[in-house]
A and B are shown apart, each in its own frame.
Chain A
Amino acid sequence: MEIEEKKERSFLNVIIWTIPILLFCVFVLMILFTPAFQDSAFKVKSWFTGFQVSEETSNEGIEKLEVRSQRNINLIEAKLDNLKPVKPYIVVNTTENRYSLRNAGGDTVRTGGCSTGKNEVLIAGKKRIIFKTPKGMFTVLNKQENRPWIKPDWAFIEDGLPIPSARSASRIDYNTLGDYALSIGDGYMLHGTLYQRFLGLPVTHGCVRLGDKDLDVIYHTLSKGSKVFIY
């Protein structure tokens, strides 16, 4: 009997020590996972706070405020609609090297692969020439068929050739840009390519290269003033 009592007492003595151990664990967990504890506390707090609104009162009723709010919403929505392009436009994804041609309503009418800037820095002495496609909203400034490419200095530097004079005939290249070119400013264009197998890869010096069939549709869908979104 005595032995049993002793055993029970020693068991209780051991069990009771779990209390400080648990307390210690709670303390450590609270420090390690404070944001989770706070998040739970915010939930508990919300049970007591409920729906809080300004204490200030107005003579107007809720219905009136609702009407005003709805009117504001309609007004802002109309303003947002006015900002959207009124002509068909093209969206170019430089990460995946894909384009989507959309009509004025924003519906996609054609998608496909394209090639954009290769994100390369060409170091020529002290010069650093960056080949990347700019991002943002651009406008088609002009459209040309069979446009020759006037090679800039970097085209010669990249090929290890001496740079010719500004008006040298060797700067004119009749094949590189393909059948059509749409200029979007600062020398950047949407144009064709001789390297169709590279479509879908980032290989250009900043322009957007398109396949022949895609370029044909895009050229005949977009007009001067159409928007070009590049992201």
Chain B
Amino acid sequence: MKNKLTFWVITSVLSIFVIYALVSTVLMPVLTKNPLPKAIIQTTSDEKPKNSKKDNNDSKDEIVSEPVVSSNSKDAKVKLFELRKREVLLHSRLELANEDSMYLVLDLINNTAVLEMKGVSLHESKILESSVSNSIKMYHTEALLNWMAEPFMLKHVEATIPKIEYVEKIAPKDTIEANKVAVEPAPAKLGDVYIVMDFDRNLRLVISQSEKPDDEGKKVISAMRRKYQEMEVRRSLQSLIKFNREPAMPQISIVIPKSDATIFYKALPVRPKMIIRM
């Protein structure tokens, strides 16, 4: 009798916990919050500043927010949606090509990552594996188009390799000392690569290397992965108290060769921009 009561009490309490956790960490964020925030259309330099706001809205209307007729068939809508997606991508690409910085083009249709500048492909890498969060790929919506309407700008990056590695050298006092310190140059060893790039509009890009990391690399990479998982666990635990969990960042994960990942990371500027084709 006592056992029965204990069983029912524990089961009921745990059921309530599970339901509460399900609602606060999974259902509420997914059902009530949009993980794809709308892009703010940037004013281009050749636009007149006086009417910039109006012009900006006009141009955006032409490129992105044109309403789709809801009365026609689904196939036609899908076709139009794909056309508009391509248009949005090209618009972003043109915007970036007009700037003086390098940028990344992630083509998830052809499975390539391209480092570009002024519309010229500088370095191309084959994406060997990729995965896209369902919060991005499952939705053929206006929200997705508006989210993609502008290039994504990097907000925070963390990597297992340094961006630039400088060697400091004290100037020799005389020629004898100069001859002593002269060393034969050797090719630099490539460290194992794992990069987490957080862009604006709630997008995370994770770049992993296709090669198996060495023991040291394994440790560094798993420590970084654990750190990001711990962050999510903390957010989930907080949401149990505060009941306001945001959906997890929509994530795109790609696997490319180590050399290409290193090149991209070292070549991109500190605040690079990126466009996604998918």
Contact = CB atoms under 8 A, between A and B. Distances in A.
A and B: partners? yes
Interface of A: 13, 16-17, 19-20, 23-24, 26-27, 30-32, 34-35, 37-43, 45-46, 49, 51-58, 60-63, 65-66, 68-70, 72-73, 76-77, 79-81, 83-85, 89, 91, 93-96, 106, 118-125, 130, 132, 135-137, 157-161, 198, 200-203, 227, 229, 231
Contacts of B66: 58, 65, 68
Contact of A20 (B10, B122, B185, B229): B10
Contacts of A77: 90
By Cβ-Cβ distance, the 6 closest A-B pairs, closest first, are A46-B138, A35-B248, A160-B178, A160-B172, A124-B171, A56-B67
Given A13-B3, A53-B67, A61-B69, 12 more contacts: A24-B14, A41-B27, A46-B138, A49-B141, A68-B66, A72-B91, A80-B94, A85-B120, A95-B262, A158-B178, A202-B188, A231-B267
A157 B21 contact: no
Given A20-B14, A26-B18, A76-B94, A31 B236 contact: yes
B176 A160 contact: yes
Q: Which label, helix, strand, loop or mixed, suits the secondary structure of the B interface?
A: helix
Given A27-B21, A43-B134, A84 B122 contact: no
Contacts of B141: 49, 51-53
B165 interface: yes
Contacts of B27: 41
B69 A65 contact: yes
A200 B187 contact: yes
Contact of A34 (B26, B77, B142, B263): B26
B29 A23 contact: no
A63 B123 CA distance: 38
Nearest to A128: B168
B15 interface: yes
A58 B24 CA distance: 39
A39 B91 contact: no
A170 to B, nearest CB: 13
B25 A69 contact: no
A70 B82 CA distance: 11
A20 B7 contact: yes
A93 B142 contact: no
A105 B229 CA distance: 46
Contacts of A53: 67-68, 70, 77, 81, 141-142
B272 to A, nearest CB: 12
A200 B185 CA distance: 11
Contacts of A84: 118-120
Interface string B12-43: 00110110011001110111000100000000
Contact of B67 (A58, A69, A136): A58
A135 B269 CA distance: 9
Nearest to A102: B120
Contact of B164 (A16, A38, A119): A119
A23 B18 contact: yes
B117 interface: yes
B60 interface: no
A160 B174 contact: yes
Given A69-B87, A96-B263, A160-B175, A231 B14 contact: no
Nearest to B101: A136
Contact of B266 (A52, A95, A227): A95
B233 A31 contact: yes
Interface string B79-118: 1110110110011011001101110000000000001011
B45 to A, nearest CB: 15
A119 B142 CA distance: 47
B5 interface: no
Nearest to A92: B122
Most interface-central of A24, A54, A200 (chain B CB within 10 A): A54
Contacts of A16: 7
Contact of A202 (B29, B71, B81, B185): B185
B80 A231 contact: no
A35 B97 CA distance: 35
Contact of B102 (A19, A60, A231): A231
B244 interface: no
Interface string B38-53: 0000000000000000
A91 B25 contact: no
Given A27-B17, A40-B134, A43-B134, A93 B123 contact: yes
B72 interface: yes
Contact of B100 (A27, A65, A136): A136
